[in-house]
Amino acid sequence: MSVDTATVKKVASLARIAISDADAERLAPELNNILGWIEQLGEVDTSSVEPMTAVIPNKLRLREDVVTEGNQRDAALQNAPQGEHGFFTVPKVVE
Amino acid sequence: MSDITELGVAELRDGIRTGKFSAREVADAFIVKVSQGKALNAFIVETPEHALAAAKAADEAIAKGEPLKPLSGVPLGMKDLFATKGVQTTAASHMLEGFKPVYESTVSQKLWDAGAGMLGKLNLDQFAMGSSNETSYFGNVISPWRRGGGDNAPLAPGGSSGGSSSAISARLVPGATGTDTGGSIRQPAAFTGIAGIKPTYGRCSRYGIVAFASSLDQAGPMARDVKDCAILLENMAGFDPKDSTSLNLPVPNWEEALSGDLTGKKIGIPAEYLIDGTPTEIAKLWEAGIAWVKDAGAEVIEVSLPHTKYALPTYYIIAPAEASSNLARYDGVRYGLRELPNDAEISRLLAASAASSSSGKPTKTALDLMYEATRAAGFGPEVQRRILIGTYVLSAGFYDAYFTKAQKVRTLIAQDFENAFSVCDLLLTPTAPSSAFALGEKSADPLAMYLNDVFTVPASLAGLPAMSVPAGLDAGGLPLGLQIIGRPLDEQGVLNAGLAIEQRAGFAARPEQWW
């Protein structure tokens, strides 16, 4: 499987990372090198193997459906790059 | 007492208890060492006030005759991947530069509750992604070790817990926390001549640890010797309702049950760990390790872990996939960095987006552009590389071929260990395929760097407890480690075998001070 610069740009867009054309040119062979090395897993017969879901058998717990740490608006906003009137703010998305 | 900083965790704890020295004297001595160790770049933030406050509490308790806590007055280093309330927590990234959590990680809270103090936040590879500490936004950590013969090339302290390993090895701290996703405790411990244990997955809470690959991430202690690791681990482990994969089991008294007597134990030697290109001195050290565990009473047998060679490629699908998902949280909205292109740039990018779309309308909004600019500026090259690989292997059409396939091979790797543990109790291997390399030596080739984790990744994929103990030196005078891997929850067996090796290896080498 070979990754070209268009694929790199598409993946970067999915990952929400801005990359320049030069970045895409540089990354394509790098990613191909790594993905090519990963391809060796194709040698392993996994036809009758279940994918791993938990390394140590452990049941997911349920908890009481009650508020545990509510009313922490100010704490939640404390590290926000921008907040106004008790909300996170983002750039305008609707013209 | 000539120099308090020569002492380890147990000796400091006991010395404070018996009045040999005050906790304040201990804190002062290490604070001076930290301030003199800046050339190593092991710390991102120093927190002498935190260590002094813990010392004051210990000394006051002694003055009042109150009972002491398990680690009263012992100052430690905290890997900067653990959220510490009110103290900058960066994961060595620009993304989280200046981030001051409003909460404390469970592991660090447990250590403070046990009376320990914090000397500072330790440098690491960015988001714990790296094996050499060269991916930190805050600069490389330098190993205190140097090759013999006047070669002063700065060496890697290992990664990702390289600040921890460098600081302990240089005696700036008696012990520290680390985290291990594919070897990030064990490989740096081996590179710097110290001990470190990754417990069974689920022993230590992941709550408040900046997430990298959640099915692999585990916290553990790093210290000068096995006993100190046992003491620290006892005060880090334990059930935590805030982590859904935390194991609801009592924490054993590992320190009390420590014994270097391996009578009745069977130790397996996996043939597949003898890989092409292993330096002869590492193969020799492994032989020495086999002789030491036999001398301690263990029976040694050969075992096979046939899927070992597939562990690394499996890891480099699963870890980046989980990372791409975990790191989606850095969006420039709720915390961390925000980068916003200026109005002209936004107009240009929106026009470009419209030009390349079939509808003629932009497919992106200014919000998308903010996300993209933030993540491009906030993540370093290695982090971006792994996010891109992870996004690719999880993307539509490739998910089964890569991610599901890797999870299936992971099952086979775990089964290999299960089979081995049906005939033996523990496994003995080298920790890393080489001693410490020079900074810059491998950083240009991601694959060469990844291969450094060849011996540590398999146990991570299977969630098993594993530790590295210093066992010898190579021809250049650099430390080498041996790794012990145990059954799930058998930290005691791992620590005991570690102790048996430590007692026989007589590792006393230390770096000559140049910093």
Domain assignment present for B128: yes
Residue where a domain stops, chosen among B371, B390, B413: B371
Domain assignment present for B279: no
**Residue B79's CATH number:** 3.90.1300.10
Mean pLDDT, chain B, as a whole number? 96
- Does A31 contact B385 at a Cβ distance shorter than 8 Å? yes
The rounded distance, in Å, linking the Cα atoms of B169 and B157 is: 9
Residue where a domain stops, chosen among B352, B371, B390: B371
Token reading at B97: 């530069």
- Does B385 contact A27 at a Cβ distance shorter than 8 Å? yes
Domain assignment present for B275: no
Domain assignment present for B181: yes
Are residues B349 and B220 part of one domain? no
Are residues B151 and B49 part of one domain? yes
- What per-residue confidence (pLDDT) applies to A95? 62
Domain assignment present for B119: yes
Are residues B249 and B149 part of one domain? yes
Is B161 in contact with B186 (CB distance < 8 Å)? no
Residue where a domain stops, chosen among B347, B371, B395: B371
The rounded distance, in Å, linking the Cα atoms of B38 and B513 is: 13
Are residues B430 and B346 part of one domain? no
- What per-residue confidence (pLDDT) applies to A1? 56
- Taking Cα atoms as reference points, which of B506, B479, B482 lies closest to residue B494? B482
Is B136 in contact with B125 (CB distance < 8 Å)? yes
Residue A34 has its nearest CB partner, among B99, B337, B446, at B446
Strand B75-79 relative to strand B117-122, pairing:
parallel
Are residues B224 and B367 part of one domain? no
pLDDT at A24 over 90: yes
Domain that holds residue B466: 4-265+426-505
Token reading at B476: 């250049």
Beta-strand runs (E) in B244-392: 266-270, 299-303
Query: Would an 8 Å CB–CB cutoff place A80 in contact with chain B?
Result: yes
Are residues B366 and B254 part of one domain? no
Are residues B215 and B342 part of one domain? no
Residue A79 has its nearest CB partner, among B335, B340, B384, at B335
Are residues B469 and B341 part of one domain? no
Mean pLDDT of A70-82: 93
- Mark whether B2 is an active-site residue: no
Nearest CA in chain B to A36: B313
Collect the ranges in chain B with pLDDT lower than 70: 1
Between positions 471 and 510 of B, the ones with CB within 8 A of A are 488
Domains of chain A: 5-42 (1.10.20)
- Mark whether B22 is an active-site residue: no
Are residues B363 and B444 part of one domain? no
Are residues B435 and B364 part of one domain? no
Are residues B492 and B360 part of one domain? no
Which residues on chain B are in Cβ contact (under 8 Å) with A92? 366
Mean pLDDT of A3-17: 96
Q: How many domains does chain B have?
A: 2
pLDDT tens-digit map of A32-48? 999 999 999 999 999 99
Which residue of B343, B408, B454, B461 is the best one to mutate when testing the A interface, meaning the one whose CB has the most A CBs within 10 A? B408
Which residues lie closer than 8 Å to B164 by C-beta, 6 or more apart? B42, B77, B79, B122, B124, B176, B177, B178, B188, B222
Mean pLDDT, chain A, as a whole number? 92
Domain assignment present for B477: yes
Residue B338 has its nearest CB partner, among A12, A41, A81, at A81
Are residues B358 and B459 part of one domain? no
Q: Which 3 state secondary structure label does DSSP give B458? A: helix
The rounded distance, in Å, linking the Cα atoms of B167 and B38 is: 10
Between positions 289 and 308 of B, the ones with CB within 8 A of A are 307
Which residues lie closer than 8 Å to B369 by C-beta, 6 or more apart? A18, A91, B340, B341, B346, B349, B350
Domain assignment present for B278: no
